[in-house]
Structure 1
Amino acid sequence: MKKTIGIISLLVLGTVGFIGYKNYPKLDLISGFSAKSVASGHFLDNRSLDIIEKGDNDINLIDLASNTIDENGHLAEATVYGFKKRKAVYREGLGAVLVNDEYDASKPYLVPKRNFTLNTKIPFPYGDGEPVTTPLPNVDYKRLQKAVDFAFAPSNEGKKCTRAVVVVHNDQIIAEKYAPGFSKNSRLLGWSMTKSITGTMLGILQKQGKLNINQPAPITAWKNDERKNITFHNLLQMNSGLEWEENYNTISDATKMLFQESDMTQSQIHKPLVGKPNATWNYSSGTTNLLSGIIRNQFKTHQEYLDFWYSALIDKIGMHSMLIETDLAGNYIGSSYAWANARDWAKFGLLYLHNGNWNGEQLFESTWSKYVATPTPTSNKEYGAQFWLNACGKLPDCPKDIYYADGFQGQRVFIIPSHNMVVVRLGYDHIDLNTFLKEILASVKKN
């Protein structure tokens, strides 16, 4: 018996040792992802550690991490088999951030000034009151509900699917559903849908006459080499020709930036050209964070930069639940870390559906929505300017005029001009988005 136990123990230790050997270089990224996810999910959305570990961190390798939450210190820590401890600290107004050994918790920091004034007398979307519930005559609500329910059914492997769906037609919510444990108030991470927020800030700055997207990007390090010809436009379209590896399954430029860099606006700057601007499309989170840094440089003070994103867009259209997290250097992580409830994500889609006009005020030029939905050269018509497109027919049973904000694990804000509709879907990858959208559209007759 003792011999059997000893053999089993050796096998377990050998397995653990092999896993550790194979993945040791990744441990810093694994514990970093886990600590950041726990801190954000807990302090931004009040999720318990158990819910986060089973619903957010149940990703291959990430589930190897052991996590703790310090309520008094407003932080979370993670290790992998006791190795590579990482800490993420929550700062009110800025969200959670991974910290390093140089982090000084006593050092003061700036936070954005927010306008949380609510107008509950006006219904969604232009006010903060409950949405109008008057049935629309062109909607088959039974078929619509069936389409929405499809999104919440577990996958064939029994995996979780959707956390939230909001369907808006003619400025009215016609369907809305949440998974158990989530509600209309739940803040959900948009991941790379944040890129569409960042791109929108450039559109607003252009409308305000503060920049021209056809001009070269103002990067000092590029002034004396061939990168000097890269424009805002090239960066917005991910078509700069700069080197970048966007791979979340290994140690790549993207994972090193998100889980090791203190200033994420610098990661793309130092990359060489491996192609030609406007002729070499390459998806890059580093590019979007570079744009966030460029936006910061448009303002005289850091406070003005922090305030602008909220005063010019987020609070302007009543996305009061939204918070964009910053890195240690105080830059908005424009590639990945915007949190908001599903209704507020829908408001963002509606802003584009109405070509930048929000209740009579033009936030960006009406042509901007067409610009972001115009295919980028060499992207196979899949990408525009910080938005993904269906011009390529990726969703074969859906209109080709659809364009959308797209985030990891199936976060989507679909803008469908031909049907005057916005569809928000937040959750996990285990869903056929083509069938989901096709059935929603089939339930609504065109006006």
Structure 2
Amino acid sequence: MKKTKLLLGIVLVGIIAAAYFNYPKLNLISGYASKNMASTVFIADRDPVDITLNDNEMPLINLADCEVSQEGTSATANVYGLMPRTAVYKEGLGAVLTNKEFSKHNFDIVPNRFQVQDSLPFPYGNNGVIDTVLENVAYDKLEVAFENAFQDPEQKTRSLLVVHKNQIIGERYIRGFSKDTKILGWSMTKSILGTIYGILEYQDEIDMEFKPFAKEMSMKNHKPDITLNHLLRMQSGLEWDENYFKISDVTKMLFLDSDMTLAQRYKKVVAEPTEVWNYSSGTTNLLSGILREQFATHQEYLDFPYRELIDKIGMNSMLLETDLSGNFILSSYGWATTRDWAKFGLLYLNKGDWNGKRIFSESWSDYVAKPTINSNGTYGAHFWLNAEGKYEDIPTDLYSVNGFQGQRIFIIPSKDLVVVRTGLKEQTDEQFNTLLKEIIASIR
């Protein structure tokens, strides 16, 4: 009897301890579930049941129960009735997680859009595609690459699009997705942020050697020495923990903070600039905050990416979500159709020239594709690289736009290729190597 009581006591203590240490995680679980549900329903116009069964069907997140309010354009999630979180959608701004400070914020200021209707086909317009057969493309071999990308359901590929010589030579979607479906790019959005800085540099509005912390004089660290270049290359030396499987800097920022631009700003310096390379979503959102400081008004800040980049190259489907303070969350929350993501890749393949209009300097594409010190040739300036042959069968001039769950835009200048793959599961380097190898093999 005593042993039974002792055993029950140990179990009870274990349950209490588990609840105590894991209770804060519920905030992140219900936060992710409600935010992802609200964004996907109201931005991508997808079915809540499908989102529950697929997008939110991942470890821990699938513990959350989520309900959508169509009238209030919101989604609320909880974990066994605990820690409810609500995400509210606002047209033009996306969905935002509410908190105790929600009522203080003004959502009346939204970006102006500068979309122009045209009669041109992809990529320079949205009136269909060019269907000319290219003589140097072996379409039967290309079809094999597509079949292999979609035949294994475990790969969870959702769309695949291949552009050669500015023309779509292959395009496929799984059931329920189409050329009009907006897809969350996750960290692909980081490259949008980097490009905005490239545009400002081309317009002589900012320099990559600009030191945003120059006025924060300190004898204890090198923070005043940090430049935009260091931040774009993730080598600032500022402390950051990019761990999505626990309560960390990045999860607290994305699911708890009202102003996400501050999470990295006030971190301590743990190394001199360039001494270490440390991938950080906090750095990107810090850059979003620094970007906002370059404009006189909030409206100008919200308008700039759409006027000077997104709508200028016809990425009319794109939406950049904001936080409670009205800052673009450029680390993670950019939505666009697969074709529009491809347009972004083509802008870089064409070195900033868009049908005769220059968006950024020709040298900017070389800048973002230059390897960053201590990244082992895998990172440039908010772009990923193949400089040291991570994809062993692919040209080393490949650089890419990468996001969670295997979102990719591959840019291969030597092959005049842009490949967009979206999905719901991260692929291995070997899987991407095989996909790209098969696509390249179809081009003579």
Q: TM-score range by the shorter chain?
A: over 0.9
1:50 Cα deviation after fit: 1.0
TM-score by length of 1: 0.93
1:392 Cα deviation after fit: 2.1
Q: Which amino acid aligns with 1:129?
A: N
Report runs of 4+ in structure 1 exceeding 6 Å deviation.
13-19
**2:422 & 2:266 partners in 1: Cα distance?**
34
C-alpha contact 2:162 2:171 (8 A) present in aligned 1: yes
Task: Tell me, yes or no, if structure 1 residue 140 matches structure 2 residue 135.
Answer: no
**2:410 & 2:197 partners in 1: Cα distance?**
20
**1:86 & 1:439 partners in 2: Cα distance?**
44
1:49 Cα deviation after fit: 1.3
Correspondence 1:200-215 to 2 at 5 A:
200-215=195-210
Aligned to 1:153: 151
Aligned to 1:387: 383
Aligned to 1:90: 89
Question: Per the alignment, do residues 263 and 219 of structure 1 end up closer, same or farther by CA in structure 2, a change over 3 Å counting?
Answer: farther
**1:287 & 1:21 partners in 2: Cα distance?**
31
**2:140 & 2:257 partners in 1: Cα distance?**
49
**1:251 & 1:404 partners in 2: Cα distance?**
29
C-alpha contact 1:390 1:403 (8 A) present in aligned 2: yes
Candidates 287, 299, 311, aligned match of 1:315: 311
**2:407 & 2:245 partners in 1: Cα distance?**
19
Question: Per the alignment, do residues 413 and 16 of structure 1 end up closer, same or farther by CA in structure 2, a change over 3 Å counting?
Answer: farther
Correspondence 1:34-45 to 2 at 5 A:
34-45=33-44
Aligned to 1:6: none
Q: Which amino acid aligns with 1:131?
A: V
Aligned to 1:282: 278
Q: Alignment partner of 1:336: what SS?
A: coil
Q: Which amino acid aligns with 2:249?
A: D
Question: Per the alignment, do residues 45 and 257 of structure 1 end up closer, same or farther by CA in structure 2, a change over 3 Å counting?
Answer: same
**2:289 & 2:161 partners in 1: Cα distance?**
32
Correspondence 1:252-263 to 2 at 5 A:
252-263=248-259
Aligned to 1:4: none
Correspondence 1:413-432 to 2 at 5 A:
413-429=409-425, 431=427, 432=431
Question: Per the alignment, do residues 379 and 19 of structure 1 end up closer, same or farther by CA in structure 2, a change over 3 Å counting?
Answer: same
1:14 Cα deviation after fit: 11
Q: Which amino acid aligns with 1:353?
A: L
Correspondence 1:32-111 to 2 at 5 A:
32-104=31-103, 107-111=106-110
1:358 Cα deviation after fit: 0.6
Aligned to 2:224: 228
1:117 Cα deviation after fit: 2.3
Q: Alignment partner of 2:365: what SS?
A: helix
Aligned to 1:217: 212
Moved more, 138-147 or 421-430: 421-430
Question: Per the alignment, do residues 280 and 108 of structure 1 end up closer, same or farther by CA in structure 2, a change over 3 Å counting?
Answer: closer
**2:298 & 2:387 partners in 1: Cα distance?**
39
**1:74 & 1:105 partners in 2: Cα distance?**
19
How many residue pairs were aligned? 430
C-alpha contact 2:163 2:170 (8 A) present in aligned 1: yes
1:226 Cα deviation after fit: 2.3
1:377 Cα deviation after fit: 0.3
Question: Per the alignment, do residues 142 and 371 of structure 1 end up closer, same or farther by CA in structure 2, a change over 3 Å counting?
Answer: same
**1:242 & 1:45 partners in 2: Cα distance?**
35
Task: Tell me, yes or no, if structure 1 residue 359 matches structure 2 residue 355.
Answer: yes
Question: Per the alignment, do residues 66 and 145 of structure 1 end up closer, same or farther by CA in structure 2, a change over 3 Å counting?
Answer: same
Moved more, 15-24 or 341-350: 15-24
Aligned to 2:181: 186
Q: Which amino acid aligns with 1:356?
A: G
C-alpha contact 1:153 1:161 (8 A) present in aligned 2: no
**1:118 & 1:425 partners in 2: Cα distance?**
27
**2:174 & 2:279 partners in 1: Cα distance?**
31
Q: Sequence identity, in percent?
A: 53
Q: Alignment partner of 2:112: what SS?
A: coil
Q: Which amino acid aligns with 1:414?
A: F
**1:165-199: CA deviations, max 9, x gaps?**
11000000000000100000000000000000000
Question: Per the alignment, do residues 207 and 436 of structure 1 end up closer, same or farther by CA in structure 2, a change over 3 Å counting?
Answer: same
Question: Per the alignment, do residues 268 and 430 of structure 1 end up closer, same or farther by CA in structure 2, a change over 3 Å counting?
Answer: closer
Aligned to 1:350: 346
Aligned to 1:9: none
Gapped regions of structure 1 (runs ≥ 5): 1-12
Q: Which amino acid aligns with 1:208?
A: Q
C-alpha contact 1:218 1:294 (8 A) present in aligned 2: no
C-alpha contact 2:405 2:424 (8 A) present in aligned 1: yes
**2:426 & 2:316 partners in 1: Cα distance?**
29
Question: Per the alignment, do residues 417 and 174 of structure 1 end up closer, same or farther by CA in structure 2, a change over 3 Å counting?
Answer: same
Aligned to 2:5: none
Aligned to 2:171: 176
1:128 Cα deviation after fit: 1.3
Aligned to 1:5: none
Q: Which amino acid aligns with 1:41?
A: T
C-alpha contact 2:407 2:423 (8 A) present in aligned 1: yes
